[in-house]
Amino acid sequence: MRTLTVDLGERSYPIYMGQGISDQISRYLAERGILPSSPLLVVTDSNVAPLHLDRLKTALGEGGYRVHDCIVPAGEASKSLDQLAEIVRVGLEAGLDRSSVIVALGGGVVGDLAGFAAASYMRGIRFVQVPTTILAHDSSVGGKVAVNHPLAKNVIGAFYQPELVLYDMQLLRTLPPRDVRSGLAEVLKEGLILDKEYVEWLSDHADALLALEPKALEDALFEACRIKAEVVGQDERENGIRAVLNLGHTIGHALEAVAGYGTLMHGEAVAIGMVGAARLAEYFGRPRRLTETIRDLLLRFDCPVTIPAELDTDAILEAMMHDKKFREGKLTFILPVDIGRVEISRSVTREQVRSVIEQLKQEEQPCG
């Protein structure tokens, strides 16, 4: 078992990572002062529930916790106010009180939704992240919780930190290949932002990671969580440096919204968005070679690098204007400077973005 700490003063919390550690969940909860005196609610989704819910409930039952569950439909569409209301209903009927805890068992969708439910239920109860996807290395750490509005992603939300993150590598074994690839795109993002050596290591271990080889996966996710925790520790509320984690997300979020939530997976949209960001960086003097390197890395992980031609360019641009990164009439872009280094730019014009979107729509996705 390995441990990291998200260092946020009195809101600091541990990330535990290892094989089979969710079986010990009761012990970890007790260590954080979460006692079985109040009922506890596990929020999960319809794919994860049949695979992993019973095991977690058994482990919680052994610790004496009275466990209720709320199973939302799998998919991005569940990050909605409707599902938030459903969790609140189940919570109220189960008698959850202000000492209760919500456990998010699932990927980023469940983590973001259940976390926001915890932030708002009775003005805030504690919550615990038990991530079950590769992508959730990112979403489970850092306390950004939210639901979507049909017009834009993550625009109804809060900063609300969990009590702990329990990352059990065994739960990842059941991931379908498309989720593996999508998650690895976001892992690669952490490296592209801050750590060239890590990117090289990831590239060398691409086959092992795609095959979910346990040692490689744990090493990769430990490092990804370390980078995430370090950035969040420096800038919890994204007043500065934390924005770099949005590499690929300005275009990515717009693609997700325009394609229809759940059509493109989050990591897939971010992969395309990172190629877009690299193309934009070329306007500011970065070499085409850098774009090609990023594109080749993403292709090593079988990620998409082109925009589906049927997506409307104006609709994509329009969606960006609703993004949280659009402020005072300007879009914020994170642009790669080199592998492992990015800059925050407020100088990208709408015409440059339009041109890059058009280019990425005209290109063909190379075969993996």
Decide if 68 is catalytic: no
Q: Which is nearer to ligand NAD, 22 or 133 (CB)?
A: 133
- Nearest to residue 26, comparing CAs of 3, 1, 55, 49? 55
Q: Least distance (Å) from ligand NAD to the CB of residue 132?
A: 4
Q: Which is nearer to ligand NAD, 179 or 219 (CB)?
A: 179
Does 353 participate in binding ligand NAD (rule CB under 6 A)?
no
Decide if 238 is catalytic: yes
Q: Which is nearer to ligand NAD, 79 or 279 (CB)?
A: 79
**Separation of alpha carbons 69 and 40, rounded Å:** 8
Does 80 participate in binding ligand NAD (rule CB under 6 A)?
no
Decide if 249 is catalytic: yes
Question: Footprint of ligand NAD on residues 50-69 (CB under 6 A)?
Answer: 51
Which residues, at least 6 apart from 32, have a Cβ–Cβ distance to it below 8 Å? 13, 163, 164
Query: What tokens were used for 277?
Result: 């960001």
**Separation of alpha carbons 159 and 85, rounded Å:** 19
Phi, psi (5° rounding) for residue 134? -70, -40
Query: What tokens were used for 106?
Result: 């699932």
Question: Footprint of ligand NAD on residues 226-285 (CB under 6 A)?
Answer: 265-267
- Nearest to residue 107, comparing CAs of 80, 72, 81? 72
Show the binding pattern over residues 176-215: x = contacts ligand NAD (CB under 6 A), - = does not.
---x--x---------------------------------
CA dist 211 → 47, 82, 195, 362 (Å): 20, 36, 23, 31
Decide if 228 is catalytic: yes
Binding region for ligand NAD (CB under 6 A): 45, 47-48, 51, 74-76, 79, 106-110, 112, 132-133, 135-136, 138-139, 142, 144, 154, 171-172, 174-175, 179, 182, 265-267
User: Which residues belong to the active site?
Assistant: 123, 144, 186, 228, 238, 242, 246, 249, 253, 266
